Structure 1
Amino acid sequence: MKRLSKSLLAALAVMVAVPVEGQAAFFDPTTQTWVQYSITPDVAGKIARRKFKRSVISYSGPEKPGTIIIDTKARWLYHVQENGKAVRYGIGVGRDGFTWKGEEKVTRKAEWPGWTPPPEMIVRERKNGRRLPAFMAGGPKNPMGARALYLGNTIYRIHGTNEDWSIGQAVSSGCIRMLNEDVEHLYERVKIGTKVVVL
């Protein structure tokens, strides 16, 4: 077996996989193996913040400025701008069985929204041993986060989160999660009636 160069080993040693359910891995140059380890939600949140940092990128697609495009596979939300640009935000998306695609419009906006879990979610979570409230007022502990953009007549929202580690993950019940500062940034730039394309 061919041995890896010291420079390649050094590069591999600093590679960290984005955590999935508290797991991550690094390459140990001494043993030349990948080592799994558990991390805290706080560390996972810091990793997600680095990987999914908001940025302005080039855009050459067909959508008009102002449109929101959600790429659920890549875990990015794009807000199309003038002059061939888009603001790109990291997102969390629906877990297996809760993904969706289509086109909607922003029909409502709310700051520090209250949360009313749908009845089917309450039943589903109760079966998993988790009791959800019938309603939770808005605030820092609310899972809807700092802002929400309501999509059409659906139960789906683009909203903030108090779980930074979930950005980049597929863990929601279909809503699109954003870091609180990112959803605040988007919220100020989006109007009622904005087109939202979910891919």
Structure 2
Amino acid sequence: MRATAQWAIRRASRNPATIYRNALAADPATGRARALIAGLGECGTHQDVAALLPFLEHPSPRVRAEAVRAVRRLGGSLTRIAGMLADPAPVVVRSVNKALRTEPDAVPTARLWELLAADSPPHVRLGAYEQLRQKDAWTRVHVDLHLLAARDTELGNRAHADLINWSRRGTATAYRTPTGEMALRLGQLIDAAEPLIGAKQAHQLRWILSIG
């Protein structure tokens, strides 16, 4: 519907982004904020990011999630978006994860491990897990094995499925062997996870990682 409206406005020789900007500036707390933010994100420019940033702190989770999408689409600060991985609303964290999907270095690895801690909300842990998986091949294997070795009830099944998928299809992305410290850590995690993944997969992983 927005696309049709924007087309009609352009046909009338008007700029839809101007309409969205003026409406948000006139009454930023309006119930139409989410739709206006989405529209501005679709046809605005990088100069509109400043006007959208305050909406990243809006009380409505859906407005915050829409603001994340709009800011990312217009080339806004990844650092500001990445800081919302601990947002209390699952819909916002999902939006952040999607925005950072092609930016594996946007969040420091140490911060992601902190968010993965067992005392974090489930949706925050899932978001941190998804971001860790995107870091590099060995971090992906590390986090999968870590969750399995810890007998993680929330993410263990997901980690096992991902580890199997990596073993079958993703090993080509492992261009270099892990460092000595990482290799040692992975070997320990394979030993701890073997009762869950089975001797055959454990042997395969040791072979892939050249640590067995």
Relative to the length of structure 2, the TM-score reads 0.23
Greater relative contact order (Cα 8 A, min sep 6): structure 1 or 2? 1
Relative to the length of structure 1, the TM-score reads 0.24
Which structure has the highest strand share of the two?
1
Larger radius of gyration: 2
Which structure has the highest helix share of the two?
2
